[in-house]
Amino acid sequence: MGELNYAPGVCALCGYSPPSGKVADDPLPAALDESVRRELGTQFKIERLLGRGGMSLVYLAREVELNRLVAVKGLPIQLSMGPDAVERFKREARTSASISHPHIIPIYAVRETQNLLFFVMKYVEGRSLDTVIREQGKLPIPMVQAIMAQVGGALRASIEGVVPGVYREAGDERDIRVRLVESARDRTDELAALQVHTPRGTVPIAMLGALEPRAGATTIQRDDKQRTVQVNAYLAGGSLTEAARRTRLALDSLGMPPGYSYEIAGEFEMYQESFQEMAKALLLAVVLTYVLLAMLLESYVHPVTIMMTVPLGGIGVAFALFLTRTSVNIFSMMAVVMLVGIVVNNAILILDYAQQLRAQGKTAVEALLEATPTRLRPIIMTNVAIAIALLPQALGSGPGSFYRIPMAVVTMGGVLVSAVFTLVLIPVLYVKIDRIGSAVRRRVERIETGEYPLAE
């Protein structure tokens, strides 16, 4: 095959050649041409315009000092480009491996003025594509990329097809898809005969490489710009957390090579996200309950005593889940959040009555010895009624039992165990905290009256 010489008027970077080597008659290139010619000044003598590419113009010029032909590309620095963007643009231009135009050898100098960037490249008159191939041992990288894009586009259009338009009939629209017949789409010889455009003209794909039938992915999935493979599995039995634990152990035993990782998603990922949200809801419920009790009791100390029933209810929750072999899931967590407002009722019944008795002049111990037996019956009736009402739900089966049973079990265990501990521990905590508060108040009063100075 003979050498293929490029016309000297073709743009070195965009392949566009203006008529008669003149700038097109639109305002932007004309103004840019004037600016470039003015900025080049006496360093370069412009001989002709090689071409135009978007916002840039490429000239054939002679470097006056060294008396050699160069290609100069000039483009305006946009007002939106900051100093970092300009420097990055210059670095990318300098590291350009090769240029598809055979007359031009890669950029060797970058110059910057107030409003323009200039990329200076060596220019070799009459240099052909075969010369480039002999010098580099291969096609320039941009040219290879362009050819591969042509091959990929031709194969995709022939197999998947293209939609040049739609067919309309009686108000309905149907895509018009053009592609090879089904028998030809499965034959490599038919695909190898497809024509693609190259710098040497239109050639069949068979001249560029061999086509081999191989298995490949029909789609490529990415997550956070990382290529991924999704494996679906369904839970046949057992809990979700246990299945995730066993899956993680199996994947860890595979010994994946560097650069590979895995992530358990699907329902387990939703479970983790829901668990985090329920933890936030639980914290918010505790804070709001404390604020409400502080307002009702007009104290910042005794609401802490009442809130101690919440961890006592947590003991009952863990005990009930263990006895019934029920897993922790989103529905059991919802029941825990509801328990925050339920288990405090027992302590409220005792301490509210004790506060009334203390207002009548009784001590903390005397008030509790009278309030606890008095409130015992209402506490037992309330908590037993809750447990009995939830018993059918805890023992039930059928559709929806997976959602109902955890909520019933958690609520029953929480209210029963917290009721028992409330009758025993809350009075003790109340007396201890009250004594500490009284001692602190006496110390503050002595300091204020000067009987117990802070320091000599």
Q: Are residues 202 and 345 in the same domain?
A: no
Q: Are residues 339 and 422 in the same domain?
A: yes
The answer to whether the beta carbons of residues 410 and 332 sit under 8 Å apart is yes
Q: How far apart are CA 177 and CA 452, in angstroms?
A: 96
Q: Are residues 119 and 180 in the same domain?
A: no
Mean pLDDT of 184-191: 81
Q: Is residue 158 part of a domain?
A: yes
The type of residue at 49 is L
Q: Are residues 75 and 183 in the same domain?
A: no
Q: Is residue 295 part of a domain?
A: yes
Which own/partner pairs from 436-444 qualify as long-range (CB within 8 Å, at least 24 positions apart)? Answer: 437/301
3-state helix, strand, coil in the chain (%, to 5): 55, 15, 30
User: Residue 398's domain spans which residues?
Assistant: 269-449
User: 48 has which bridge partners?
Assistant: 60
Domain end marker among 107, 122, 137: 137
Please tell me the predicted confidence (pLDDT) of residue 53. 55
Phi and psi of 132, rounded to 5°? -60, -40
Q: Are residues 358 and 406 in the same domain?
A: yes
Q: How far apart are CA 153 and CA 212, in angstroms?
A: 18
Residue scoring higher pLDDT (149 or 27): 149
Q: Is residue 262 part of a domain?
A: no
CATH code of residue 87: 3.30.200.20
Q: Is residue 410 part of a domain?
A: yes
Please tell me the predicted confidence (pLDDT) of residue 7. 34
Domain count, the chain: 3
Q: Is the pLDDT of residue 2 over 50?
A: no
Q: Are residues 368 and 338 in the same domain?
A: yes
Residue burial 10-19, b: 16+ Cβ < 10 Å; e: rest: bbbbbeebbe
Domain end marker among 91, 119, 137: 137
Please tell me the predicted confidence (pLDDT) of residue 302. 82
Residue scoring higher pLDDT (395 or 131): 395
Q: How far apart are CA 317 and CA 411, in angstroms?
A: 7
Phi and psi of 15, rounded to 5°? 80, 10
CATH code of residue 186: 3.30.2090.10
32 exposed, middle or buried (CB, 10 Å; 0-12, 13-18, 19+)? buried
CATH code of residue 335: 1.20.1640.10
User: 169 has which bridge partners?
Assistant: 172
Determine if the pTM surpasses 0.75: no
The type of residue at 378 is P
Q: Is residue 378 part of a domain?
A: yes
3-state class of 301 per DSSP? coil
User: 333 has which bridge partners?
Assistant: none
Q: Are residues 152 and 80 in the same domain?
A: no
Q: Are residues 125 and 180 in the same domain?
A: no
21 band by pLDDT with thresholds 50, 70 and 90: very low
Q: Are residues 292 and 439 in the same domain?
A: yes
Structure-token match 């080049």, residue found: 40
Domain end marker among 175, 207, 239: 207
Q: Are residues 274 and 423 in the same domain?
A: yes
Q: Are residues 96 and 177 in the same domain?
A: no
Q: Are residues 26 and 117 in the same domain?
A: yes
pLDDT in tens, 73-122: 777 765 445 666 666 656 655 444 334 455 555 555 666 776 777 777 76
